[in-house]
A and B are shown apart, each in its own frame.
Chain A
């Protein structure tokens, strides 16, 4: 499986990562190596196998519709970078 540098840049954009040209070159190289190894997977016969039903042996675990409030708001937002009158302040977001 060939992968182009453009593709690597596109993936980086999706992943919100910025790669320098040098990093992109290295990443392209790594990708090729890893993916060529992983391409083995494409040949495996998976006919009739349901991958998604992996954990169906148990019934889903559900929660009762009950309210509980996390009281210590100061602690809750202790890591928040910028708090303003209860709001989380962030650089301008353009819609």
Chain B
């Protein structure tokens, strides 16, 4: 039997504002507990919300970037439920009139393009953070995050595999980053995804019970969680226990590598939404929306087209580079300095990405300046250092932030270009490798490579490869 997986995503993205949605507390991440709080975001009695205008602007931007229709009349509603991370016992959100609706984005899974529809984008406030202590009868609350502005982007259930789900979130993340809507740092929780997943027989019209999965904090986790849940449901259906797939919320436990039902959601939830009486409706003018649209910067798909045309990069290179705004920005700045788009791509996608991964550094915190990498590439280009040495220099640059020339100087990595000096070394190499010399003269041209290697070895890699090769060839053919 053929099975089909149906996935819809709900993405919460923190908006890149300086202050919270309804009060002036900073939104900055990493402050001491409860430091970014005030009577308003703590929901103290008598306080009132006042909407941050930047929230409206960013939400509209998101809508436009995701091809949505902007509702010129929308409103805020209260979603009522008791939970200690919610100091007012209601979340100010949008219910039946969200600010944006009916959008779409294009995703690309292994070369296959697909359009994913977006049902709606609404504005809401974030909740606080609960910390559960092991073996202690208490939990701790940090309200720094409460009232940080969010947009919730709800997709249609158009995704058909865990891979598509990942591609969708990646595409969305790139767009939000490019448009300056959210910094999308998944590890800090500024981009969070929940997924609704169900499986059904191929050709079956109606949907089976869907399960909501929460707490997937990276693309890797998202993929794993989706695959695990897909498998769990499939197995239940295949073993005639389909009734055990119930509509519920499950938490992804990355440590245990499985999804676990969430107990707090046992209560039938009745959120008793009603229009927020403390805020007036959001009434927008067409002209204002257009003005905001005009400020949208180049978006990923536009960048892909431009990079392809200007720099001649491959699809794979483009996917990685454009998919990461910080990396793309770094790439372009480096090309501006050094030219050589291909060489820069090799550096950025090669050594740089490898080191970032090894050291678990995010691309927005690249410790190398585009100018320094540019000048390193120029040094290689001018033949002043070899590619091999350049790699060594780059690592040093990465760790210390020093300039390439500085490193070369310090480590004595300067290239030996002096002919006399090189000639002496070459003579020595030829003398100690008579067999190779003979091979070469017998027509085995690959012996040249071996001899070049020996020269480089002898010079500790510092020989100017071009000069050395010319000299070597000269000597062999004489």
Contact = CB atoms under 8 A, between A and B. Distances in A.
A–B contact with Cβ pairs below 8 Å: the answer is yes
B32 A86 contact: yes
B35 A61 contact: no
B317 to A, nearest CB: 37
B52 A63 contact: yes
B264 A56 contact: no
Contact of B17 (A55, A65, A88): A65
A70 B39 contact: yes
Contact of B272 (A14, A16, A68, A93): A14
Interface in B242-290: 251, 262-264, 267, 270, 272, 275, 279-283
A92 B133 CA distance: 8
A95 interface: yes
Interface string B40-61: 0010000000111111100000
Interface in A77-95: 77, 84-95
Nearest to B16: A65
A63 B42 contact: no
Given A14-B272, A60-B279, A65 B53 contact: yes
A58 interface: yes
A60 B283 contact: yes
Given A63-B53, A92-B137, A76 B38 contact: yes
B130 A65 contact: no
B140 interface: yes
Nearest to B56: A62
A14 to B, nearest CB: 6
B139 A92 contact: yes
A73 interface: yes
Interface in B21-44: 24-26, 32-39, 42
B164 to A, nearest CB: 29
A63 B139 CA distance: 34
A21 interface: no
A76 B37 CA distance: 9
A13 B81 CA distance: 11
A90 B139 contact: yes
A22 B141 CA distance: 36
Nearest to B21: A63
A89 B280 contact: no
B213 to A, nearest CB: 14
Interface residues of A, number: 35
Given A86-B35, A91-B138, A65 B52 contact: yes
A86 B34 contact: yes
A64 B53 contact: yes
A62 B272 CA distance: 26
Given A93-B84, A93-B130, A95-B263, A87 B142 contact: yes
B24 A66 contact: yes
A61 B139 contact: no
B131 interface: yes
- The A contact surface, by secondary structure, is loop
Contacts of A68: 19, 24-25
Interface string B123-152: 000000011100011111111000000000
Q: Which of A53, A63, A65 has the most CB of B within 10 A?
A: A65
A62 B50 contact: yes
B34 A87 contact: yes
Nearest to B97: A52
B131 A87 contact: yes
A14 B89 CA distance: 12
Contacts of B84: 90, 93
A59 B283 contact: yes
Nearest to A79: B44
B33 A67 contact: no
B75 interface: yes
A52 B24 CA distance: 28
B466 interface: no
Nearest to A52: B275
A93 B275 contact: no
A63 B272 CA distance: 28
Interface string A31-48: 000000000000000000
A55 to B, nearest CB: 6
Contact of A56 (B18, B131, B281): B281
Contacts of A76: 37-39, 42
A69 interface: yes
Q: Which of A61, A68, A87 has the most CB of B within 10 A?
A: A87
Contacts of A63: 19, 24, 50-53
A13 B267 CA distance: 9
Interface of A: 13-14, 16, 52-53, 55-56, 58-70, 73, 76-77, 84-95
20 contacts: A52-B75, A60-B279, A60-B281, A61-B51, A66-B19, A67-B24, A67-B25, A70-B38, A76-B39, A84-B140, A86-B32, A87-B141, A88-B140, A88-B141, A90-B140, A91-B138, A92-B132, A92-B136, A93-B132, A94-B263
Given A59-B283, A67-B24, 10 more contacts: A52-B75, A53-B73, A62-B53, A63-B19, A63-B52, A65-B18, A73-B35, A76-B39, A86-B142, A87-B141
**Closest 5 interchain pairs by CB?**
A70-B38, A65-B54, A87-B140, A68-B24, A86-B33
